Structure 1
Amino acid sequence: MSALPAPALPSAAPTAPLTVAKLRHDADQFDYLNMRGLLDPAYSDMAACYRQLAAQLVAEGVSKRPQWNSAELQAIGSIYNRMLYRRPAAVVPEPLGQWVGSQVEQAYLAQQPNVVIIDDFLSAPALASLRSYCLESMVWNSLRYSHGRLGALYHRGLRCPLLDQLATALRATLPAIIRPRYRLNQLWAYKYPADMPGDDVHADFAAVNVNFWITPDQANLDPASGGMYIYDVAAPADWQFEEYNRHPERIRRYLSASGAQARYIPYRQNRAIIFDSDLFHGTARCHFRDDYESRRINVTLLYGQRHQDDSQPAQSWPQHESGWRSAALRRQRRG
């Protein structure tokens, strides 16, 4: 694969804040791409520059700073948080592993609440291609998350034929779970720092959540961590998005009052968890090797909407969800 030529970049200052997590991640990614000859030599000094800026933020005692000074703008203002390279990821002969869809459907529907685990979820070619795509593509541009977690969203660059193929194959293979009326409403991925205390418990605005992990098991230094918790209690039907997704203290009080029990699902590469998106869930603490290729990566596909879920009374659903973060995906598709 040939190196990407230096693009003609706009001169406008970036709107994204400078963050230690983003600067350090991108410095490692510059090194990774440069070693593979995938970036123009003009970017050969960027890793050192990014690390220097990250060190300056640490010296200031901050992890994030929205304000840019003139020296920072001159140094990286034209390239920061931009998609300088995205690896092609074509369709493969078969994106899914050798598991049997009807057996997965039976297991999912027999569980209350609805949860099923699939190991060897992707075929070997699909897993290898998707992992390379996530390591090489500069799509990790969503910076609003805590603890140094970085996000990549469908409507902001996390798009390739392989992921579209996977989304379609899941619908065809699991029609009793991903009903014909459940369209793909969002697709995202997260990269985690080497150590993270865990993610806030939340629920998602969807009917079905498909979550899977792609980082090798040997990167996980503590096999007792790195997985996810799923509670046996769903978000109340009359809660708005902000309540069930972005208010962890209220959620914890509700879980305690409800006597909720958490099921822990251990981390494993190429393991998928399919579950009712209404169920409260969260990432466990993480302790992975501290190198670029060992960052924990999960990919999530969200199908359908809350009010389409047959397990909840339709009359109790709110009329709209103005705060739903997937609205941008809907706008982009309509365009």
Structure 2
Amino acid sequence: MEPLPNTMDSSRAHLAADLLARANQHFRSGRLDEAHAGYLQLVEIAPDNHSAYNNLGRVRQEQGDPEGAVTCYREAMRIDPGLRVARRNLTTCLVELGRSDECIDLWRAEDAFDADDLAWLDRQSWLALLAHALSAAGEYARVHAAVRLGSAWYPPLSPPPPATAHPETRLTIPKLRHDIEQFRYLQRRSLLGEEFTDVIAVYEETISHLESAGVHGPTPLDATTERVIGHVYGRIVHVRNTPRVPRALSDSWNPTEVESQYLDQPPGVVVIDDFLSPEALESLRLFCLESTVWTGNRYAHGRLGAFFRDGFTCPLLLQIAEELRDSLPRVIGKRHPLRQLWAFKNENDFPADSNTHADFAAVNLNFWITPTDANLDPETGGLVVYGVDAPLHWDFATYNSRREVIEPYLRQQKATSFKIPYRQNRAILFNSDLFHGTDGLHFRSGYENRRVNITMLYGERAQDDHHRGLAHASHPGTSTAWRSRAFTHRRTSRL
């Protein structure tokens, strides 16, 4: 609880301090009614004291009265607009009430936050994921993204941020090209205004400048570039409203069969066709096309990432994660909470064997949403999986990115890889310990043809009790265990 500063005469201060001590003791002991009465007395004695209102808000929040708590926290912040603890407490109440838009306005006020505050928002999202409170996690992530990466266009009701790029932003030609395509797409759909025609022109000039200077990798924004595009580059300017649907997962696949294949037949890889319902697939595809959340540009070959904490979140995505958890209680269930959610968008070509890695999770769900006819080679464009798992003693950086260690290890284990070809609405459920990577891509040109894959990671690899010791197991290339019944049926029907 917040302490009470000594701003009164000695007799009143002594009484207030005594009331505060007793009310705090009641609160810590769980005697909420007594604590509430004590803080009310304290407010009467010290009506202009922010701590009294903040502590009263805490009690009302614990009593299940979030509206009453909101009133108290707002009063505390009226008295002291910079009161960090009241802002955080108010945020938790507003998220609980489904009023996270008010959180964004609250946090984007001038000088309202710093790096510690952003870390707090990020941690609240992480804690909510661990508690399986997916909707709350999504709201915290959305607030975090809007505060950190918002713009004059998003969210529209908040005061705009400074007209500068985020400090971590780096220029890359692939991102500039992608954003030009996306801005034009959004203009065609009347989702962005004519002012973005000038933005596009400046982006094109920036590309020419970088190409003339021989810049090929990420580079900081210079003062001139910062001045002309810092207000929009690497920031969120539009997010599609993408609510839940009646049913996100398709009824065409059998969760019980999928669980049996995953658990009973090493190495733990199952392909699921027709993964999402038609309504969910179309809505999610539009979310990925329209939302300007593709801010991760540190990857080779022009790949762009979109991450949960940076705006890649919507009610539909979390509905998919929730339904998958509930549909697969033996594989995921309550044991393995959703730990991360992201997507990657590729340029139209991508070399094979470029990003072999393993992930930190216990279970990995990867699915594809770009139309199948965008893929010019129907036997490639998907995922390559090895029947070898990352050693548990390897650290994250080693099994996730150090190819000079991973590739010799795979040769030593005589690992056999197998390819799962690309198809729209195909999902791969697999043991996240397995080394895997994107297969070579050759997709049609055009913004809407860029390959988009979405990944959901559940649990921690150290807590996964399935498929241990795979490095010495038979290789999946000699088995059809990874094929779901739907996949096998589709393959047969095309022969």
TM-score by shorter chain over 0.5: yes
Which residue of the partner structure matches residue 317 of structure 1? none
CA separation in 2, counterparts of 1:312 and 1:287? 33
Of 239, 250, 262, 1:108 maps to 262
Cα distance change on mapping 1:193 and 1:313 into 2, 3 Å: closer
- Answering whether residue 345 of structure 2 is matched by residue 191 of structure 1, we say yes
CA separation in 1, counterparts of 2:329 and 2:299? 33
Which residue of the partner structure matches residue 160 of structure 2? 8
Gapped regions of structure 2 (runs ≥ 5): 1-152, 470-495
Q: CA deviation at 1:230?
A: 0.5
CA separation in 1, counterparts of 2:431 and 2:467? 11
Alignment RMSD (CA, Å): 1.7
Q: Deviations over 1:283-316 (max 9, x none)?
A: 01111111000000000000000111103779xx
What TM-score comes out, normalization by structure 1 length? 0.89
Amino acid at match of 2:240: R
CA separation in 1, counterparts of 2:467 and 2:218? 43
Structure 1 consecutive aligned stretches of length 4 or more whose deviation exceeds 2 Å: 3-9, 11-15, 63-71, 311-314
Cα distance change on mapping 1:65 and 1:256 into 2, 3 Å: closer
CA separation in 2, counterparts of 1:125 and 1:220? 22
Which residue of the partner structure matches residue 285 of structure 2? 131
CA contact (8 A) 2:165 2:233 kept: no
CA separation in 1, counterparts of 2:449 and 2:216? 22
1:273-284 pair list within 5 angstroms: 273-284=428-439
Q: RCO (CA 8 Å, sep 6+): is it higher in 1 or 2?
A: 1
Q: CA deviation at 1:266?
A: 0.5
Which residue of the partner structure matches residue 215 of structure 2? 62
Question: Greater helix share, 1 or 2?
Answer: 2
Of 400, 406, 417, 1:251 maps to 406
Question: Greater strand share, 1 or 2?
Answer: 1
Of 305, 311, 324, 2:466 maps to 311
- Answering whether residue 141 of structure 2 is matched by residue 17 of structure 1, we say no
Amino acid at match of 1:201: T
1:147-186 pair list within 5 angstroms: 147-186=301-340
What TM-score comes out, normalization by structure 2 length? 0.61
CA separation in 1, counterparts of 2:321 and 2:310? 17
- Answering whether residue 355 of structure 2 is matched by residue 200 of structure 1, we say yes
Gapped regions of structure 1 (runs ≥ 5): 315-335
Q: Deviations over 1:65-121 (max 9, x none)?
A: 423233212210111110100001100000001211111111212321000000000
CA contact (8 A) 1:57 1:64 kept: no
Which residue of the partner structure matches residue 85 of structure 2? none
Q: CA deviation at 1:59?
A: 2.0
Cα distance change on mapping 1:312 and 1:227 into 2, 3 Å: closer
CA separation in 1, counterparts of 2:261 and 2:175? 40
Which residue of the partner structure matches residue 227 of structure 2? 74
Of 28, 34, 39, 2:181 maps to 28
Amino acid at match of 2:406: I
Partner-residue secondary structure (3-state), 1:44: helix
CA separation in 2, counterparts of 1:261 and 1:132? 37
CA contact (8 A) 1:211 1:274 kept: yes
Cα distance change on mapping 1:65 and 1:189 into 2, 3 Å: closer
Identity of aligned residues (%): 49
